[in-house]
Each structure stands twice: as C-alpha cells, then as structure tokens.
Amino acid sequence: MESLNMATTLIVNIGEFFTGDLKEPVGDVTSVRIDGDRITALNPPADTVRDRTIDAHGSAVMPGVIDGHVHPVFGEWTPTQNTIGWIGNYVHGGTTSMVSAGELHVPGLDYNNLTPELMTSLALLAKATTGRVRWGGAKVHAGTLLMVPGMTEEKFDKVSAAGTILTKFLFYPLAPENREEALRYVGWCHDRGLRVKVHTGGVSRSGSNAVCGYETLSWLQPDIAAHISGGPIPMPDDDLDALVDHTEFALEICSSGNYRSAIRAVERLAKAGRLDRLTLGTDTPGGTGVLARGMLRNMTFLSSVCGLSAGEVIAVATGNTAKAHGLDTGMLKPGMPADLVIAGRIDGSAGTTLTEAIEHGDLPGISTVMIDGQLVVSGRSEQTPPPQERATIELTYGCPFCA
Ligand SMILES: [Zn+2]
C-alpha cells in the first residue's frame, strides 16, 4: 500500500482498453489520467504533469471485476471451509468490489428459527464489522438483509440507515399466502433505494429455502434474480426460457451453478440482444468454497463457450454488475473511481492479445490492481500466472520504495 492519496497518476502504453460499458466495450485509449481516487481523463496530453507513471507495456486495462454474489461471514474468515484470507486473494484475482448475498454462514445459525430481530441484527453486525474495513483493499458491500416473515418497516429503516444496499429473499416462504407481505417488503426496499435479490432454483446448502422459478419471479419482480443457472440447483429449462423472454430485471450467473443451464441462459439473452440484463458472481465462499479466480473463470467460460466477445464479457462482469447493484464503479471513464486491473496474455496462451486469450478460454495474467487510485496489487498477482508483459511503476519525485 502507498500514501499518494491525492497524487496524479498516468497510465501509459495501454495496448487494449476495456470500458466496462456494454454499449461500447472496447475503446481506442492508450493512456489514462487519475487524480486521487478518480479517473479524470482518457488519452490526456503526453506532457501531463504527474507524480507517478504506470507503464502498461502494451498490456490491457479493464475495470476492476465486480463479484455480485459473495457470502462473507466475519471479515476474511469463511467458517464453512475454515479458511482465512479469502477477500485479499480475490483481489489478486482482479475483483475490486463484491456484494454480499447474505451472511448466512454464521456458525450455529438455526435456519428454522430466523426471526425479524435476529436477521436485522445479523445484517447490522455484518455491516459494522466485515463491511466496515477494506479487506485487502476491496470494497465489500456487506450487511445484506435476509428477509423473513413478520418484519416491520422499522427494520428496513435500520439497515438502510446503516448503509446496507441489498436485501434478499432466501429463507422467506414465497408462497401465494405470503404474496402481499413479500410485495410490501419490495416496496419498502425501493422506497429506501435498497435493491432486492431473490434466490432462484432448488434448495441451497442451508437446506431450508423453497424452490423458486418463473412463476414466483414474475409476480415478485425483484431487481436481481440470483444465480439463475443454479445455486447450486437451477430452475427447469422452461422456467429459465420464460424468465429470459418475459421479464426485464437483472439475471445473475454464478460459479455455483449448472454449466449447461448457464450456456442456455446466456445464449438466449445474447440472441435476444439483452446481454444488458446479465450480471456475474461466484456465490462463494459458502458451500461452493473459495474460488480466488472464480470471476475470471466465469468470464472466460462465458466468452469461450457461450460466445460473448472479450469486451462484452468484461462489461458484464464490471459495468453491468455494478449497475444492477447500484454501485458507483465498474466503468473506466472520467468521474468514475480508479478501480482497475492491468492484465495481459500469459505466456503459452492462445492468440497474441488478451482479447484472443479470453475468447479462447485462457485465464488473464494480472500484474496490477488499483482501487480508488491506490495500488493494491503491483508487480504481479499471487493468484494468476504473470502476464507476458508486466506493468512497471515510476515516480516522478520521491522514493521508489514508496510505490
Ligand atoms: Zn448465495
């Protein structure tokens, strides 16, 4: 970590530039100016006065990856696998922001006795602890409210005041007799700017949620249908097709699911010209374990197997996922936070560029990860092989050891 809080940084010699914007995923950009924590110019004048120069040596720059579905518990400890340090490792896999889909893996939590008070307390505790600290530099949006029957509007006030951004129907019995209350919850969330996510498909690791498919989602109208290809069990194919064809909200694909269902959903969305609805996550840790390169694996899968271009899949994993969750990040343009990854083709990969490697299904090699203008990974990632060309950092003034 470094202390150039308000410094001007210029990234130069960019070979490929991915915007994170699905409408125009690749840009003709060879340099980026960053002032403090924000991007202030693309292709600034070459003689721009700066404190620091990052030479990309022809490698690619893309927005920091956003994992739209993680399950933190206590900081970087994931009790399900009894491992530690997962968030920092995810940052080395290019993930700069992550959104909790609920802190349900707390040891000893009794899924058969989840009261409104307990679930609200759990969200507040997670927000005040895991969600308070930048673990490994990452922006972790924790404190997701897992809704249960009998909640009053005051509970939504409390989590909203604490800074929660997401609520989720997971344990909630989405049966016809509860429809009125569930829709009231959705209204209360939207009144406060909280996004609503719903567990879809079969029963989760907890073993205590109901099956959720097209019928429920069509009346509930959440903001995001979680892991539509399974988390871990997908909804039936007909439901998946109807979801793509007859709804408008965001549809999430996670590593936890069924690959065949993922191909079906992604190909159908692409054919309909609706990739703007697609978001990505890992649904890890939890039952699926820790996947430090999980987001990169999802991206190479969607590109090499489901046919998305490298630019499209990067936009899905960054701009799309940020937008669906209301995050102020995910695109590289002036005014946006400097959350970015410098990566390249790994020696031995297919093709000659990162685009060609990703479209062949090959993992990118990461050399640099920046969050809010701060270098959190430099030199090389501990989680990917090094890229052929590594970005180097040069200070205009001062001590090279501070970089
Ligand atoms: Zn989940």
What are 224's strand-pairing partners? 197, 250
CB atoms within 10 A of CB 363: 20
160 CA distance to ligand 1 centroid (A)?
A: 21
- Checking DSSP bridges between strand 166-169 and strand 139-141, what pairing results, if any? unpaired
400 confidence band (pLDDT: 50, 70, 90):
low
83 CA distance to ligand 1 centroid (A)?
A: 18
287 CA distance to ligand 1 centroid (A)?
A: 9
| Helix runs in 75-178, H state only | 86-92, 116-128, 153-162
The percentage of residues in the chain with a pLDDT greater than 70, rounded to a whole number, is: 97
Measured in whole angstroms, how far is the alpha carbon of residue 78 from the centre of its chain? 18
232 CA distance to ligand 1 centroid (A)?
A: 9
Query: Which tens digits make up the pLDDT trace of 71-118?
Result: 999 999 999 999 899 999 999 999 999 999 999 999 999 999 999 999
231 CA distance to ligand 1 centroid (A)?
A: 6
Residues within 5 A (CB) of ion ligand 1: 101, 283
Name the nearest CA neighbour of 100 among 67, 142, 136: 142
Measured between alpha carbons, how far is residue 268 from residues 27, 75, 89, 217, 320 in Å? 27, 38, 33, 18, 17
314 CA distance to ligand 1 centroid (A)?
A: 22
33 CA distance to ligand 1 centroid (A)?
A: 37
Query: Which tens digits make up the pLDDT trace of 180-200?
Result: 999 999 999 999 999 999 999
206 confidence band (pLDDT: 50, 70, 90):
confident
298 CA distance to ligand 1 centroid (A)?
A: 16
309 CA distance to ligand 1 centroid (A)?
A: 27
310 CA distance to ligand 1 centroid (A)?
A: 26
Q: Is the pLDDT of residue 382 over 50?
A: yes
224 CA distance to ligand 1 centroid (A)?
A: 12
Burial 172-198 (b: 16+ CB within 10 A, else e): bebeeeeeeebeebbebbeeeebbbbb
78 CA distance to ligand 1 centroid (A)?
A: 14
Confirm if 390 and 380 have CB atoms less than 8 A apart: yes
212 CA distance to ligand 1 centroid (A)?
A: 14
Record the pTM: 0.96
Euclidean distance between the first and the last CA atom of the chain, given in angstroms as a whole number: 8
The percentage of residues in the chain with a pLDDT greater than 90, rounded to a whole number, is: 93
Return d(Cα 196, Cα 53) in angstroms, integer: 41
Name the nearest CA neighbour of 303 among 274, 270, 332: 270
135 CA distance to ligand 1 centroid (A)?
A: 20
Cis previous bond, 149, omega within 30: no
80 CA distance to ligand 1 centroid (A)?
A: 13
SS3 35: strand
